[in-house]
Structure 1
Amino acid sequence: MRRLTAALVAGAILMGAASPALAGDTDASRIAVAREMIAAWKSADWRKVADLFAEDGVLRSMMLEPVAGRPAIYARIAALGKGAPDGVTLDVAHIGVIDGLVFIERTDRFVYNGHPGAVPVVGVLDIRDGKVREWREYYDRASLEKALRGQ
């Protein structure tokens, strides 16, 4: 009887872990949000980029001060976007989820103020409940600035 009770309890726990209420954040759902973000950058949909962040989300470009909150994130991205009206293509080399975080190794390609450029980047996104809670961008700032000038 104890074994049966233990088996029923274990089954109930496993079923609870797989229930839709608890299984909303899957690797596939996180990657889907990341791919939405990639598409929004490519189409220069800066509002969509910002709206994919949680209200209190944080954007951390490692060589700059972090930006917190959806309105501030939109302001930074829209200002950057003025120089890249045709969007930014995020050419993904690798994308995956490790310990619940989405890692994207990519090359960002753009035309900024008339100058074509490209820069290698690794982004780490903490996506929960379908929104980006935090996005950390790792890149060489000198390479980015050179690319923005078309050099």
Structure 2
Amino acid sequence: MNELDAAREMIDAWNRMDWDRVVALFAEDAVLHSVMQDPIAGRGAIEARIRALTAGLERIELRVKAMGVIDGRVFIERVDDFDVNGHHVELPVVGILRIGPDGLVTEWLEYYDRASMMRGMGLPADFSHS
């Protein structure tokens, strides 16, 4: 399986809300890093984060705008369109995945505006505005 096929399989698992499959597509020692937060290392920790993030999730579609491989990493420009706890969010995201030779994700970096996501989800902002 090439890098793009592995990335497409991960996107498909998210869109089907198949969390067992999403978790299984990470290597045992993978790292998930939303760059505005501390990285999460290890499949078990990643599973706990995904289960917490998807609690209350009613629907999700990761709409890929562009995807390609640069220097062995898959770059994905997308819009995450989801409904959670009665709130609708459309969040522009750039994800960068490293895929191991076994087709499993070894590293996933996420770049997005966290304040916009929190606002869209109806949650308090992370930072106070003085």
TM-score, length basis structure 1: 0.77
1:47-126 paired onto structure 2 within 5 Å: 47-86=20-59, 88-126=60-98
- Structure 1 stretches of 4+ with a deviation exceeding 4 A read none
Which deviations, in whole Å up to 9, do the C-alpha atoms of 1:35-57 show, x marking residues without a partner?
11111111111111111110000
Counterpart among 14, 18, 28 of residue 41 in structure 1: 14
The whole-number CA distance in structure 2 between the counterparts of 1:113 and 1:63 is: 23
* Equivalent residue letter for 1:75: A
TM-score, length basis structure 2: 0.89
The whole-number CA distance in structure 1 between the counterparts of 2:61 and 2:122 is: 17
The whole-number CA distance in structure 2 between the counterparts of 1:142 and 1:125 is: 23
2:58–2:82 CA contact under 8 A, matched in 1: no
- What runs of 5+ residues in structure 2 fail to find an aligned partner? 124-130
2:57–2:85 CA contact under 8 A, matched in 1: yes
1:123-142 paired onto structure 2 within 5 Å: 123-129=95-101, 130-142=103-115
The CA deviation at 1:63 is 1.2
Q: SS at the partner of 2:36? A: coil
Q: SS at the partner of 1:38? A: helix
C-alpha RMSD of matched pairs (Å): 1.3
Q: SS at the partner of 2:109? A: strand
1:58–1:134 CA contact under 8 A, matched in 2: yes
The whole-number CA distance in structure 1 between the counterparts of 2:45 and 2:25 is: 13
Tell me which structure has the larger Cα radius of gyration.
1
Which deviations, in whole Å up to 9, do the C-alpha atoms of 1:80-117 show, x marking residues without a partner?
1112143x211111000001000000000000111111
1:44–1:85 CA contact under 8 A, matched in 2: no
The whole-number CA distance in structure 1 between the counterparts of 2:58 and 2:83 is: 8
Q: What is the percentage of aligned positions where both structures have the same residue?
A: 53
- What runs of 5+ residues in structure 1 fail to find an aligned partner? 1-23
Q: Which structure has greater helix proportion?
A: 1
